[in-house]
Protein backbone atom coordinates (compact mmCIF):
# COMPACT_ATOMS: atom_id res chain seq x y z
CA UNK A 1 0.00 0.00 0.00
CA UNK A 2 1.39 3.37 -1.02
CA UNK A 3 0.49 6.95 -0.20
CA UNK A 4 -0.88 8.87 -3.19
CA UNK A 5 -1.32 12.64 -2.87
CA UNK A 6 -3.23 14.87 -5.26
CA UNK A 7 -2.97 18.62 -5.49
CA UNK A 8 -6.35 20.31 -5.96
CA UNK A 9 -6.40 23.47 -8.06
CA UNK A 10 -5.74 23.03 -11.80
CA UNK A 11 -4.81 19.40 -11.10
CA UNK A 12 -8.03 17.51 -10.34
CA UNK A 13 -10.33 20.43 -11.13
CA UNK A 14 -9.69 22.59 -14.18
CA UNK A 15 -9.71 25.87 -12.27
CA UNK A 16 -8.51 27.52 -9.08
CA UNK A 17 -11.14 26.93 -6.38
CA UNK A 18 -10.20 30.11 -4.50
CA UNK A 19 -10.61 32.21 -7.64
CA UNK A 20 -13.87 30.40 -8.37
CA UNK A 21 -15.19 31.37 -4.91
CA UNK A 22 -14.32 35.00 -5.59
CA UNK A 23 -16.06 34.77 -8.96
CA UNK A 24 -19.12 33.28 -7.26
CA UNK A 25 -19.27 36.20 -4.83
CA UNK A 26 -18.96 38.65 -7.72
CA UNK A 27 -21.54 36.84 -9.84
CA UNK A 28 -24.13 37.03 -7.07
CA UNK A 29 -23.06 40.50 -5.87
CA UNK A 30 -22.20 39.24 -2.39
CA UNK A 31 -19.38 41.75 -1.82
CA UNK A 32 -19.75 45.42 -0.97
CA UNK A 33 -17.27 47.04 -3.37
CA UNK A 34 -17.35 44.94 -6.53
CA UNK A 35 -14.72 46.88 -8.50
CA UNK A 36 -12.19 46.92 -5.67
CA UNK A 37 -12.78 43.24 -4.90
CA UNK A 38 -12.27 42.29 -8.55
CA UNK A 39 -9.02 44.26 -8.81
CA UNK A 40 -7.63 42.69 -5.64
CA UNK A 41 -8.60 39.20 -6.80
CA UNK A 42 -6.84 39.62 -10.13
CA UNK A 43 -3.70 41.12 -8.55
CA UNK A 44 -3.33 38.28 -6.06
CA UNK A 45 -3.85 35.65 -8.77
CA UNK A 46 -1.12 37.22 -10.91
CA UNK A 47 1.20 37.03 -7.91
CA UNK A 48 0.33 33.36 -7.45
CA UNK A 49 1.02 32.48 -11.07
CA UNK A 50 4.38 34.23 -10.93
CA UNK A 51 5.35 32.56 -7.65
CA UNK A 52 5.39 35.87 -5.73
CA UNK A 53 2.23 35.47 -3.66
CA UNK A 54 2.51 36.53 -0.01
CA UNK A 55 0.18 33.86 1.35
CA UNK A 56 -0.18 35.46 4.79
CA UNK A 57 -1.17 38.83 3.32
CA UNK A 58 -3.49 37.19 0.80
CA UNK A 59 -5.34 35.28 3.51
CA UNK A 60 -5.44 38.12 6.03
CA UNK A 61 -6.33 41.00 3.72
CA UNK A 62 -8.47 39.27 1.13
CA UNK A 63 -9.79 35.76 1.79
CA UNK A 64 -10.42 35.96 5.53
CA UNK A 65 -11.38 39.63 5.51
CA UNK A 66 -14.36 38.65 3.39
CA UNK A 67 -15.23 35.34 5.05
CA UNK A 68 -15.32 36.74 8.57
CA UNK A 69 -18.01 39.27 7.65
CA UNK A 70 -20.70 36.61 7.37
CA UNK A 71 -22.06 33.98 9.78
CA UNK A 72 -21.07 30.39 9.07
CA UNK A 73 -24.67 29.38 8.41
CA UNK A 74 -24.84 31.87 5.55
CA UNK A 75 -21.45 30.86 4.19
CA UNK A 76 -22.41 27.18 4.18
CA UNK A 77 -25.55 27.99 2.17
CA UNK A 78 -23.50 29.97 -0.34
CA UNK A 79 -20.89 27.21 -0.51
CA UNK A 80 -23.46 24.57 -1.40
CA UNK A 81 -24.55 26.59 -4.42
CA UNK A 82 -20.94 27.48 -5.26
CA UNK A 83 -20.06 23.79 -5.52
CA UNK A 84 -22.97 23.16 -7.89
CA UNK A 85 -22.36 26.21 -10.08
CA UNK A 86 -18.62 26.74 -10.00
CA UNK A 87 -16.93 23.42 -9.15
CA UNK A 88 -18.90 20.38 -10.30
CA UNK A 89 -18.76 21.35 -14.00
CA UNK A 90 -14.95 21.53 -13.77
CA UNK A 91 -14.22 18.25 -12.01
CA UNK A 92 -11.73 16.27 -14.10
CA UNK A 93 -13.07 12.75 -14.48
CA UNK A 94 -9.72 11.33 -15.53
CA UNK A 95 -8.51 12.38 -12.08
CA UNK A 96 -11.36 10.41 -10.51
CA UNK A 97 -10.43 7.39 -12.66
CA UNK A 98 -6.83 7.70 -11.50
CA UNK A 99 -7.88 7.82 -7.85
CA UNK A 100 -10.11 4.79 -8.27
CA UNK A 101 -7.28 2.80 -9.85
CA UNK A 102 -4.98 3.64 -6.95
CA UNK A 103 -7.61 2.69 -4.41
CA UNK A 104 -8.27 -0.60 -6.22
CA UNK A 105 -4.56 -1.36 -5.71
CA UNK A 106 -4.94 -0.65 -2.00
CA UNK A 107 -3.26 2.76 -2.03
CA UNK A 108 -4.22 5.47 0.47
CA UNK A 109 -5.36 8.59 -1.39
CA UNK A 110 -5.20 12.15 -0.13
CA UNK A 111 -5.92 15.67 -1.37
CA UNK A 112 -3.34 18.11 -0.03
CA UNK A 113 -4.04 21.76 -0.80
CA UNK A 114 -2.92 25.17 0.36
CA UNK A 115 -6.44 26.44 -0.25
CA UNK A 116 -8.51 27.07 2.87
CA UNK A 117 -10.47 24.24 4.48
CA UNK A 118 -13.81 25.98 3.96
CA UNK A 119 -13.51 25.32 0.21
CA UNK A 120 -11.42 22.15 0.25
CA UNK A 121 -13.76 20.25 2.59
CA UNK A 122 -16.72 20.60 0.24
CA UNK A 123 -14.72 20.11 -2.96
CA UNK A 124 -13.07 16.94 -1.66
CA UNK A 125 -16.47 15.30 -1.28
CA UNK A 126 -16.59 15.11 -5.08
CA UNK A 127 -13.59 12.77 -5.18
CA UNK A 128 -12.92 9.19 -3.99
CA UNK A 129 -10.16 10.01 -1.51
CA UNK A 130 -9.47 8.72 1.98
CA UNK A 131 -8.42 12.03 3.45
CA UNK A 132 -7.96 15.72 2.72
CA UNK A 133 -5.72 18.39 4.20
CA UNK A 134 -5.97 22.16 3.77
CA UNK A 135 -5.11 25.47 5.41
CA UNK A 136 -7.10 25.52 8.65
CA UNK A 137 -9.23 28.50 9.67
CA UNK A 138 -10.04 29.58 13.22
CA UNK A 139 -13.71 29.75 14.19
CA UNK A 140 -15.48 31.32 17.15
CA UNK A 141 -19.19 30.92 17.78
CA UNK A 142 -20.77 31.23 14.32
CA UNK A 143 -18.00 33.10 12.51
CA UNK A 144 -14.52 32.70 11.11
CA UNK A 145 -12.26 34.93 13.22
CA UNK A 146 -9.98 36.00 10.40
CA UNK A 147 -7.06 33.94 11.74
CA UNK A 148 -5.34 30.84 10.41
CA UNK A 149 -4.74 27.86 12.69
CA UNK A 150 -1.03 27.12 12.45
CA UNK A 151 0.71 28.00 9.20
CA UNK A 152 -0.90 28.18 5.75
CA UNK A 153 -0.13 25.01 3.77
CA UNK A 154 1.96 26.77 1.18
CA UNK A 155 5.43 26.07 -0.18
CA UNK A 156 7.81 24.36 2.22
CA UNK A 157 5.08 24.17 4.90
CA UNK A 158 3.34 21.48 2.83
CA UNK A 159 6.48 19.38 2.89
CA UNK A 160 6.94 19.88 6.63
CA UNK A 161 3.34 18.83 7.19
CA UNK A 162 3.87 15.63 5.20
CA UNK A 163 7.11 14.82 7.01
CA UNK A 164 5.33 15.19 10.34
CA UNK A 165 2.38 13.09 9.15
CA UNK A 166 4.66 10.32 7.90
CA UNK A 167 6.44 10.24 11.27
CA UNK A 168 3.08 9.26 12.81
CA UNK A 169 2.12 6.75 10.10
CA UNK A 170 4.96 4.27 9.83
CA UNK A 171 3.14 2.19 7.21
CA UNK A 172 4.01 4.90 4.66
CA UNK A 173 7.31 6.48 3.63
CA UNK A 174 8.46 9.38 1.46
CA UNK A 175 10.21 7.06 -1.03
CA UNK A 176 6.95 5.24 -1.81
CA UNK A 177 4.79 8.37 -1.96
CA UNK A 178 3.27 9.49 -5.27
CA UNK A 179 2.40 13.15 -5.76
CA UNK A 180 0.27 14.52 -8.63
CA UNK A 181 0.69 18.26 -9.18
CA UNK A 182 0.46 20.85 -11.96
CA UNK A 183 2.56 23.75 -10.68
CA UNK A 184 6.22 24.71 -10.38
CA UNK A 185 5.29 26.32 -7.04
CA UNK A 186 5.51 22.84 -5.48
CA UNK A 187 8.77 21.72 -7.08
CA UNK A 188 10.51 21.28 -3.72
CA UNK A 189 7.74 18.99 -2.53
CA UNK A 190 7.70 17.05 -5.79
CA UNK A 191 11.47 16.60 -5.72
CA UNK A 192 11.28 15.04 -2.26
CA UNK A 193 8.72 12.28 -2.85
CA UNK A 194 9.66 9.03 -4.53
CA UNK A 195 7.18 9.29 -7.39
CA UNK A 196 6.39 12.82 -8.61
CA UNK A 197 3.90 13.09 -11.47
CA UNK A 198 3.42 16.31 -13.44
CA UNK A 199 -0.24 16.78 -14.39
CA UNK A 200 -0.99 19.19 -17.25
CA UNK A 201 2.05 21.10 -16.00
CA UNK A 202 2.90 24.76 -16.39
CA UNK A 203 5.96 25.50 -18.52
CA UNK A 204 8.47 25.58 -15.66
CA UNK A 205 7.25 22.30 -14.22
CA UNK A 206 7.16 20.67 -17.67
CA UNK A 207 10.77 21.65 -18.33
CA UNK A 208 11.84 20.29 -14.94
CA UNK A 209 9.84 17.08 -15.36
CA UNK A 210 11.31 16.42 -18.79
CA UNK A 211 14.84 17.10 -17.55
CA UNK A 212 14.40 14.68 -14.63
CA UNK A 213 12.36 12.12 -16.59
CA UNK A 214 9.29 12.46 -14.37
CA UNK A 215 6.01 11.13 -15.77
CA UNK A 216 3.85 13.79 -17.43
CA UNK A 217 0.14 13.02 -17.67
CA UNK A 218 -3.07 14.80 -18.52
CA UNK A 219 -6.39 14.72 -16.69
CA UNK A 220 -8.03 16.98 -19.30
For 36-80, write each residue's pLDDT tens digit.
999 999 999 899 888 888 999 999 999 999 999 999 999 999 999
CATH classification of the domain holding 33 = 1.20.1440
The highest-confidence range among 50-54, 60-64, 82-86, 181-185, by mean pLDDT, is: 82-86
Our count of domains for the chain comes to 2
Catalytic residue among 9, 18, 107, 200: 9
Q: Is 181 helix (H, G, I), strand (E, B) or coil?
A: strand
Q: Is residue 106 classed exposed, middle or buried when 0-12, 13-18 and 19+ CB atoms within 10 A define those classes?
A: exposed
Q: Is 109 helix (H, G, I), strand (E, B) or coil?
A: strand
Catalytic residue among 7, 16, 107, 200: 7
Q: Write down which residue in 33, 55, 89 finishes a domain.
A: 89
CATH classification of the domain holding 194 = 3.40.50.1000
Are 69 and 177 in a shared domain? Answer: no
pLDDT of 209 reads 98
Longest dimension (CA), the chain: 51
pLDDT beyond 90 at 205:
yes
Are 128 and 170 in a shared domain? Answer: yes
- Domain containing 78: what range? 17-89
pLDDT beyond 90 at 150:
yes
Whole-structure pTM value: 0.95
Are 115 and 170 in a shared domain? Answer: yes
Are 102 and 170 in a shared domain? Answer: yes
Q: Report d(CA 136, CA 147) in Å as an integer.
A: 9
Q: Is residue 107 flagged as an active site residue?
A: no
Amino acid sequence: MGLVIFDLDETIVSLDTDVAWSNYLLKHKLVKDIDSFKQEKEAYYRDYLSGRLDIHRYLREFVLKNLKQHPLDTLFEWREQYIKEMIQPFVLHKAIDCMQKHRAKGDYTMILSGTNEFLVAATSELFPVNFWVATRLEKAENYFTGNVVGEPLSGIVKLHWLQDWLSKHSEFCMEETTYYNNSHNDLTFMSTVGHPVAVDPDNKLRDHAEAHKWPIVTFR
